[in-house]
Amino acid sequence: MLKFLKRGGRATPTNIGSPPPLKLKTVLILRAISGSGKTLFANTLKQLYPNTVIVSADDYFYDNDGNYNFCAAALGAAHGACRRKFKEAVDSGAELVIVSNTNTEKSHWKYYEDYAKENGYVVHFLIIENRHGGVNQHGGVNQHFVPQGTLEKQKRKILSSIQL
């Protein structure tokens, strides 16, 4: 569990033990524009639940030295690798699987939702808001250098597909 302590005028988390186990095998599908903090959020949950499996198409673009080398022509292969890793995680019975992609429209997340449900997982969707300004770094683009126009398209697609 996380306990928040006041230090220097702001709350900071302090690990005070393990959170309770999840009652059901769970898939969490993150939806957000590039640079909004999906990876940070997923990694934070993994700290709480160490057996969590995080799948992301972005992983395909990192080299062995940790450099991000995006190539639009390889997006299909990246998403294929992400789906394979997801299937392996579900087939192995992982307690928590997080899909950390933009997932701006139903066709992007449908495979994950369907496969998870077919295998007895509960599925939750979570939209990550960009309230920290992460997408406006590096001269108007995010840390992956996604152009502002692309970020605006992602935003419109997410907003038009939210189901409350």
pLDDT digits (tens, 9 = 90+) for 89-121: 999 999 999 999 989 899 999 999 999 999 999
Q: How buried is 112 (Cβ within 10 angstroms: 0-12 exposed, 13-18 middle, 19+ buried)?
A: buried
What pLDDT is stored for residue 142 in this prediction? 58
Tally of structural domains, the chain: 1
The answer as to whether 83 is a domain residue is: yes
Contacts for 1-9 with beta carbons within 8 Å, 24 or more apart?
2/48
pTM recorded for the entire structure: 0.80
Q: Domain with 71 in it: what CATH number?
A: 3.40.50.300
Poorest-pLDDT segment among 19-28, 39-48, 76-85, 137-146:
137-146
Q: How far apart are CA 130 and CA 141, in angstroms?
A: 13
The answer as to whether 6 is a domain residue is: no
Q: Which helix (H) or strand (E) holds 125?
A: strand 122-127
- Say if residue 138's pLDDT is above 70: no
What pLDDT is stored for residue 133 in this prediction? 59
- Domain of 63 in residue numbering reads as 23-160
The answer as to whether 16 is a domain residue is: no
Mean pLDDT value across residues 126-138: 66
User: Which residue has 């189901």 as its token pair?
Assistant: 163
The answer as to whether 104 is a domain residue is: yes
The answer as to whether 15 is a domain residue is: no
Structure token digits, residue 71: 């190539």
Instruction: Name the nearest CA neighbour of 109 among 24, 25, 31.
Output: 31
What pLDDT is stored for residue 149 in this prediction? 84
What digits encode the pLDDT tens for the residues 6-24? 444 444 455 546 677 777 9
User: Which residue has 């992301």 as its token pair?
Assistant: 56
Side-chain half-sphere of 134: how many Cα atoms within 13 Å?
17
Instruction: Name the nearest CA neighbour of 49 among 101, 89, 102.
Output: 89
DSSP 11-27: EEEEE-SPPPPPSS-EE
What digits encode the pLDDT tens for the residues 39-77? 889 999 999 999 999 999 999 999 999 888 989 899 999
What pLDDT is stored for residue 94 in this prediction? 96
